[in-house]
Amino acid sequence: MKEIKIVLKERDMPRKWYNLAADLPGIIEPALAPDGRPITPDMLAKVFPMNLIEQEASLKRWIDIPEEVLKILLRWRPAPLRRAVYLEEYLKTPARIYYKDESLSPAGSHKPNTAVAQAWYNKEFGIKKLTTETGAGQWGSALAFACNIIGLECKVYMVRISFDQKPLRKIMMHVWGARCVASPSNETSSGRAILRKMPNTPGSLGMAISEAVEEAVRDKTGKTRYSLGSVLNHVLLHQTIMGLESKKQLSLAGEKKPDIIIGCVGGGSNFAGLAFPFLYDKIHGDKIEIIPVEPTACPTMTRGPFAYDYGDTAGMTPLLPMFTLGHNFVPEPIHAGGLRYHGMAPLVSHAIRDGLLSPRAYDQVKCYNSAFIWAKTEGTIPAPETSHAIACAIEEAIKAKKEGKKKVILFSYSGHGLMDLTGYEKFLSGKLSKYHLSEKDLRASLESIKKFPKIRIRKKA
Ligand X SMILES: Cc1ncc(COP(=O)(O)O)c(C=O)c1O
324 lies in the binding site for ligand X (CB under 6 A): no
Contact status, residue 288 vs residue 277, Cβ threshold 8 Å: no
First-residue to last-residue Cα distance in the chain: 52
Report the nearest approach of ligand X to the CB of residue 16 (Å). Answer: 21
Report residue 65 CA to chain centroid gap.
Answer: 20
Please identify, among the stretches 34-42, 380-388, 396-404, 444-452, the one whose residues bind ligand X according to the rule CB under 6 A.
380-388
383 lies in the binding site for ligand X (CB under 6 A): yes
The binder of ligand X chosen from 81, 265, 279, 437 (CB under 6 A):
265
Q: Determine the residue with CB nearest ligand X.
A: 338
Site string for ligand X, 218-247 (x = CB under 6 A): ------------x-----------------
136 lies in the binding site for ligand X (CB under 6 A): yes
Neighbours of 278 (CB within 10 A): 22
Report the nearest approach of ligand X to the CB of residue 135 (Å). Answer: 5
Report the alpha-carbon distance of residue 229 to residue 139 in Å, rounded. 6
Render 244-306 in DSSP notation, one character per residue.
Answer: HHHHHHHHHTT-S--SEEEEE-SSSHHHHHHHHHHHHHHHTT---EEEEEEETTS-HHHHS-E
Give exposure, 357-367, as e/b (b: 16+ Cβ within 10 Å).
Answer: bebbbbbbebb
Is the CB of 301 or the CB of 400 nearer to ligand X?
A: 301
Please identify, among the stretches 76-84, 125-133, 264-272, 295-303, the one whose residues bind ligand X according to the rule CB under 6 A.
264-272
Report the alpha-carbon distance of residue 295 to residue 284 in Å, rounded. 30
Residue 43's φ and ψ, nearest 5 degrees, are -70, -20
Is the CB of 81 or the CB of 339 nearer to ligand X?
A: 339
The binder of ligand X chosen from 48, 121, 139, 411 (CB under 6 A):
139
385 lies in the binding site for ligand X (CB under 6 A): yes
321 lies in the binding site for ligand X (CB under 6 A): no
Per DSSP, the three-state class of 428 is helix
Task: Using CB under 6 A, count the residues that bind ligand X.
Answer: 21
Please identify, among the stretches 14-22, 48-56, 117-125, 267-275, the one whose residues bind ligand X according to the rule CB under 6 A.
267-275
The binder of ligand X chosen from 131, 270, 349, 370 (CB under 6 A):
270
Is the CB of 228 or the CB of 400 nearer to ligand X?
A: 228
415 lies in the binding site for ligand X (CB under 6 A): yes
Site for ligand X in 165-224 (CB under 6 A): none
138 lies in the binding site for ligand X (CB under 6 A): yes
The 8-class DSSP code of residue 34 comes to T
Give exposure, 35-56, as e/b (b: 16+ Cβ within 10 Å).
Answer: eeeebeeeebeebbbeebbebb
Report the alpha-carbon distance of residue 299 to residue 455 in Å, rounded. 20
Report the alpha-carbon distance of residue 299 to residue 420 in Å, rounded. 22
Is the CB of 133 or the CB of 255 nearer to ligand X?
A: 133
386 lies in the binding site for ligand X (CB under 6 A): yes
Interface residues toward ligand X, by CB under 6 A: 109, 135-136, 138-139, 230, 264-271, 338-339, 383, 385-386, 414-415
